Structure 1
Amino acid sequence: MASPSAAIHLHDGDLPDGFDIGPVVAVDTEAMGLNPHRDRLCLVQLSAGDGEAHLVQIRPRSLGGRYDDCPNLKALLQDDSVTKLMHFARFDVALLQHALDITVAPVICTKIAARLVRTFTDRHGLAHLCRELLGVDLAKQQQTSDWGAETLTPEQLAYAASDVLHLHALWEKLEALLVRENRRDLAQACFDFLPARGRLDILGYEDPDIFSHRA
């Protein structure tokens, strides 16, 4: 759950004009499912790591929304002076690029970072990392709830906010480990590839994997 002191701001369809969240913004998404071709984008969560979360509800036109008509959100996600900090960025980048017809960059992924340096474990989920590295417990009960509902519940909003409120602190811990293990440059090369990886996923190149030697 989000911290009881966290401030959650819900925006309908787009960010307000003049919105400035700083040079590094934590980003997450909620969708109707895990297939970006089939399952629509429903919510985009943002945080500057300051205890506040900004949630943009993306509603289809059939529900009176604007769907991909969100110029302020698109501008932020495409701004090359703003780093987008995500966990399992491969999914979020692919979903955002497909739904909004943009390129999301530059990106940092805490899951990739964890896999590069925490090779003594196969547990790289956000909840596990927050518990292990930050001493923060994230509730996951709302993970599979209906994010396409016209009105989201307070529990859904709190859950969605929790997925971005701790990413800055988590990245600080993981980046220190990357530097310690001399893998920071390798991590950056992986991060830089994520927009292209998202496009490959949307085109269906998960299988066959074009990097595989398999005939």
Structure 2
Amino acid sequence: MAVYFHEEDLPEGVLAPGPVAVDTETMGLVTARDRLCVVQISDGQGDEHLVRFKVGSTYDAPNLKAVLADPERLKLYHFARFDLAAIEYYLGVEASPVFCTKIASKMTRTYTDRHGLKNLVVELLGGEISKAQQSSDWGAPEINEAQRDYAASDVRYLHRLHDVMVERLAREGRTEMAQACFDFLPTRARLDMAGWADHDIFSHASA
């Protein structure tokens, strides 16, 4: 297992075919304000790739974009809503089709309100990950080893969690409903970017 660090794009041909786990690190939580700094990606074979974009980047990244935009390659996320918005806003591609482990957790682990990635890894995989670097400066000139390991851990477990969640959704009879949610996520991300992040447009309320 290794963590590979790349500047501005993913090298061609480094990922095996099949689903890829994807995550992003940004300067904050407001997509249009807080620039995309790192995209993490893994094919589930044991290596993780981090693509860093420096301040002033043009976000060309043709190899990374080709993988993210590939309609035949499933993308695994934890809280896809945020990552899809960051990727589309800065890289200009819709990174779908989607499977979101956070949504799957909320639809199957209804016995708890703890749906963070760390919670899932502990309960379902018997692992442990640190969130110590979650709020660090991802726009710094240098990304340190602790940051790299944290970023890599955010995609390291998603293939295994996907397998568990597929079984849980089937067991609870919620596979079709979950898939409809996943299919809607790119639109949900666009609603966020368009100004409806905090408004339920399906609500009867007029506000």
Residue of structure 1 in register with 2:131 after alignment: 140
User: Mind listing any 5+ residue stretches in structure 2 that lack a counterpart?
Assistant: none
**In structure 2, C-alpha distance between the alignment counterparts of 1:10 and 1:21, rounded to whole Å:** 17
Q: TM-score, normalised by structure 2?
A: 0.96
Deviation digits for residues 118-152 of structure 1 (CA, Å, limit 9, x no counterpart): 11100000001100000111011111110001110
RMSD of aligned Cα (Å): 1.1
The question of 1:56 aligning with 2:47 is answered no
**In structure 1, C-alpha distance between the alignment counterparts of 2:205 and 2:35, rounded to whole Å:** 33
**In structure 1, C-alpha distance between the alignment counterparts of 2:199 and 2:4, rounded to whole Å:** 41
Q: Say which of 1, 4, 7 aligns to 2:2.
A: 7
Measured after TM superposition, the shift of residue 209 of structure 1 is 2.0
3-state DSSP class of the match of 2:48?
A: strand
Residue pair 1:59, 1:67 contacting (<8 A) in 2 also: no
3-state DSSP class of the match of 1:22?
A: coil
Residue of structure 1 in register with 2:17 after alignment: 22
Deviation digits for residues 26-75 of structure 1 (CA, Å, limit 9, x no counterpart): 000101111101100000001111221010001133xxxx3411111111
Residue of structure 2 in register with 1:3 after alignment: none
The question of 1:167 aligning with 2:158 is answered yes
| Corresponding pairs, count | 206
Residue pair 2:55, 2:139 contacting (<8 A) in 1 also: no
Measured after TM superposition, the shift of residue 102 of structure 1 is 1.6
Residue pair 2:36, 2:86 contacting (<8 A) in 1 also: yes
3-state DSSP class of the match of 2:60?
A: coil
Q: Say which of 169, 173, 179 aligns to 1:182.
A: 173
Residue pair 2:10, 2:61 contacting (<8 A) in 1 also: yes
**In structure 2, C-alpha distance between the alignment counterparts of 1:21 and 1:210, rounded to whole Å:** 40
Q: Say which of 96, 113, 135 aligns to 1:105.
A: 96
Runs of 4+ more than 3 Å apart: 18-21
Query: Could you say if the C-alpha distance between residues 162 and 15 of structure 1 is closer, same or farther in structure 2, counting changes exceeding 3 Å?
Result: same
Q: TM-score, normalised by structure 1?
A: 0.93
Residue of structure 1 in register with 2:86 after alignment: 95
- Taking the TM superposition and a 5 Å limit, the aligned residue runs for 1:142-161 are 142-161=133-152
The question of 1:195 aligning with 2:190 is answered no
Counterpart AA for 1:205: W
**In structure 1, C-alpha distance between the alignment counterparts of 2:16 and 2:59, rounded to whole Å:** 21
Counterpart AA for 2:18: P
3-state DSSP class of the match of 2:180?
A: helix
Residue pair 1:21, 1:47 contacting (<8 A) in 2 also: no
The question of 1:70 aligning with 2:65 is answered no
User: Mind listing any 5+ residue stretches in structure 1 that lack a counterpart?
Assistant: 1-5
